[in-house]
Chains A and B, each alone.
Chain A
Amino acid sequence: MQEQNLETQLTTPADGVPENGASGMATFAPDPGGPLAGAQGSGTMIVFENVTKIYEPNVVALNEVSFVIDKGEFVFVVGASGSGKSTMIRLLLKEMEPNSGRILVGGRDLSRLKGSKVPLLRRNVGCVFQDFKLLPNRTAAENVAYALKVQGESKLSIRRKVPEVLSLVGLSERSESLPDELSGGEQQRVSIARAVVNHPPLLICDEPTGNLDPDTSVGIMQLLYRINRAGTTILMVTHDREMVDKMRRRVIALEDGRLARDERRGGYESE
């Protein structure tokens, strides 16, 4: 009953989130000409091949972890604190290198990616965090625009894209508000808007609902669901048991750095 309920909940927008319709969603499909274009079509988005990461002196964060995530998937990564989830995200953003194993994002081997190309990788991987990571002295619109400015987008295209994405996340009315003046859910919407304004083929979410109350979390999940439906692959680290159980999506569970479980339509805990 619950599953059915949520499925309908997730496909219809929450209150206050204007539905852009099919055309609006199409606008936010991943950019087919982007640098991770190799990931388009039926290809794979993320490949972890026997990835091991050891922190000095001998803390094993990830131990021979292997999995493949296809383009367009919605994947939950669950596990206790210290199970290696954050390490996985940092490896995906090439904030550090694995001790052994291979990581491919959009068909590209990260170990072969030159340092100067890392910013290009990050422009094609949207990121959403538990603590939002918004710039406190910039308005919602400026925070979103910032991601575009960094890439040297023209003012004209910034002026076009920012309101578009803000209306996607349902914040057209609050675009001139500073993060302080926004609720937690609204701040997370801004950060999602910032993450997807570049049409990244991959969106990584690190406990996006960790700081939000359950009702607000549902709104955020609906938004992510819609973004996923438009073709963006989503990798979401979460502790939100209820959400995982309701969504019945693929679940990758980590336990002490090992891959404990990888189920197509799993729950938070193995059944």
Chain B
Amino acid sequence: MRFRLLVSESVRSLLANTSTTVAATMTVLIGMFLLGLFVALGSWMLAFSDNTKDKLLVKVYFCTEVSCKQPASLEQINFVRKQLDADPLVKEVVFVSKKEALDRMRKRTPEIVAGLTSNPLPDAFEVKAVDGANIKQIATNLSSPALPPGVEKVKDGEEVSARVLQAAKIMSTAFGIATVVLLVSSALLIANTIRLSIFSRRREIEVMKLVGATNWFVRGPFMLEGLICGLAGSILAVLLLLIGKELVLPQILGQIDSSSGVQSLAFGLNALIVIGVGLTIGVLGSGLTIRRFLDV
């Protein structure tokens, strides 16, 4: 009974104050759309920089008949492995055999592999660093003072890596700051819209208090309205984001390579964040704003 009264009062004033309802909903919509966009882009950036770091490998190529007359022996390979395992900077060492290397190459460039009569590729280690920034150090540790026996060469992606990592760092910092600024400004914007709508209804609140409405009776419908506007605005924002994701993004980027491992935050999760923030701002915004009008 109480609840029905609350709902009917809220719906009534939402309909009676169409312009403020629309304004509040649109404000939430814009704020939450931008938030969703930033969360998606930001998490994509993070994934991208993680992925790039992962790709930064130290490659240790072992000798083959072709490269140094004599292929590396099993002992030599194990020796290198032990040395790498002992290095605290190393996260993971993966052995890529000649055969595997050829298989990979076949996948990437089948026309070249088709012309080969034998497998010219060496056995190799792919060494992942705990921190991508340290790959050069790992390579130096391994190759100084001299390359271990059986190793043809040690290759690191330093040239690319430093720049990529720096860019990624700057970008993710920028995105972090932008997201915070955005959150704060949209919260202020929404709070302001709510304050305007409550201000225009001071008289109503005054009358409510006069006829003996409890504070919660006054606050309830306002907060429910905030909730409804927040919900409507953020659901619309999610819809817009979905349209953007499904229609606009493929147009810009072409076919998205989903196997690359560079993924933004799952859309569902992003949508949940957007709706959650929208609801919270709606309810808390109106609940807190109305407090100062309750002292009649």
Please give me the residue from chain B that is nearest to A134 by CB atom. B207
Chain A 127-163 near chain B by CB (<8 Å), digits 1 or 0: 1000001111100000000110111101000000000
When distances are taken between beta carbons in the complex, the residues of chain A under 8 Å from B1 are 152, 154
Q: Nearest chain B CB to A203's CB is how many angstroms away?
A: 13
Known: A119-B214, A135-B204. 16 other contacts (CB 8 A): A123-B211, A123-B212, A127-B210, A133-B203, A134-B207, A135-B203, A135-B207, A146-B207, A149-B5, A149-B9, A150-B211, A150-B212, A152-B1, A152-B5, A194-B211, A198-B212
Instruction: Report whether A150 and B204 are in contact in the complex, using a CB–CB cutoff of 8 Å.
Output: no
Chain A 179-194 near chain B by CB (<8 Å), digits 1 or 0: 0000000000000001
* A150 CB contact (under 8 Å) in B16, B206, B213: B213
Whether a CB of chain B sits under 8 angstroms from the CB of A241 is no
Chain A 54-95 near chain B by CB (<8 Å), digits 1 or 0: 000000000000000000000000000000000000000101
Instruction: Report whether B207 and A122 are in contact in the complex, using a CB–CB cutoff of 8 Å.
Output: no
Instruction: Report whether A119 and B213 are in contact in the complex, using a CB–CB cutoff of 8 Å.
Output: yes
When distances are taken between beta carbons in the complex, the residues of chain A under 8 Å from B208 are 150
Assembled-state Cα–Cα distance A162/B260 (Å): 70
Residues of B at the A interface (CB closer than 8 Å) are 1-2, 5, 9, 16, 203-204, 206-215, 217, 296
Tally of contact residues, A, Cβ under 8 A = 24
Whether a CB of chain B sits under 8 angstroms from the CB of A120 is yes
Instruction: Report whether A146 and B212 are in contact in the complex, using a CB–CB cutoff of 8 Å.
Output: no
Instruction: Report whether A133 and B206 are in contact in the complex, using a CB–CB cutoff of 8 Å.
Output: yes
Instruction: Report whether A137 and B210 are in contact in the complex, using a CB–CB cutoff of 8 Å.
Output: no
Q: Nearest chain A CB to B205's CB is how many angstroms away?
A: 11
Given the known inter-chain contacts A137-B16, A150-B217, please indicate yes or no for A122 contacting B212, CB distance below 8 A. yes
When distances are taken between beta carbons in the complex, the residues of chain A under 8 Å from B210 are 93, 122, 127, 133
Assembled-state Cα–Cα distance A95/B210 (Å): 10
When distances are taken between beta carbons in the complex, the residues of chain A under 8 Å from B217 are 119, 150
* B212 CB contact (under 8 Å) in A120, A133, A136, A137: A120
Assembled-state Cα–Cα distance A135/B212 (Å): 15
Please give me the residue from chain A that is nearest to B213 by CB atom. A150
Assembled-state Cα–Cα distance A137/B9 (Å): 12
Please give me the residue from chain A that is nearest to B15 by CB atom. A137
When distances are taken between beta carbons in the complex, the residues of chain A under 8 Å from B203 are 133, 135-136
Interface residues of chain A: helix, strand, loop or mixed (majority): loop
Residues of A at the B interface (CB closer than 8 Å) are 93, 95, 116, 119-124, 127, 133-137, 146-147, 149-152, 154, 194, 198
When distances are taken between beta carbons in the complex, the residues of chain B under 8 Å from A120 are 212
Assembled-state Cα–Cα distance A137/B213 (Å): 18
Assembled-state Cα–Cα distance A116/B214 (Å): 8
Given the known inter-chain contacts A147-B212, A150-B212, please indicate yes or no for A133 contacting B207, CB distance below 8 A. yes
Assembled-state Cα–Cα distance A127/B214 (Å): 17
7 examples of A-B residue contacts, CB within 8 angstroms: A119-B217, A120-B212, A122-B209, A133-B206, A146-B207, A150-B211, A154-B1
Q: Nearest chain B CB to A187's CB is how many angstroms away?
A: 13
When distances are taken between beta carbons in the complex, the residues of chain B under 8 Å from A134 are 207
Assembled-state Cα–Cα distance A124/B212 (Å): 8
Q: Nearest chain A CB to B72's CB is how many angstroms away?
A: 84
Instruction: Report whether B212 and A151 are in contact in the complex, using a CB–CB cutoff of 8 Å.
Output: yes
Q: Nearest chain B CB to A116's CB is how many angstroms away?
A: 8
* B2 CB contact (under 8 Å) in A116, A122, A137, A152: A152
Please give me the residue from chain A that is nearest to B13 by CB atom. A137
Given the known inter-chain contacts A95-B296, A135-B207, please indicate yes or no for A119 contacting B212, CB distance below 8 A. yes
Q: Nearest chain A CB to B168's CB is how many angstroms away?
A: 56
When distances are taken between beta carbons in the complex, the residues of chain B under 8 Å from A154 are 1
Please give me the residue from chain A that is nearest to B211 by CB atom. A147
Assembled-state Cα–Cα distance A154/B5 (Å): 10
When distances are taken between beta carbons in the complex, the residues of chain B under 8 Å from A194 are 211
Please give me the residue from chain B that is nearest to A195 by CB atom. B211
Q: Nearest chain A CB to B69's CB is how many angstroms away?
A: 94
Assembled-state Cα–Cα distance A151/B1 (Å): 12
Assembled-state Cα–Cα distance A198/B212 (Å): 11
Assembled-state Cα–Cα distance A123/B211 (Å): 6
Please give me the residue from chain B that is nearest to A154 by CB atom. B1
When distances are taken between beta carbons in the complex, the residues of chain A under 8 Å from B204 are 135
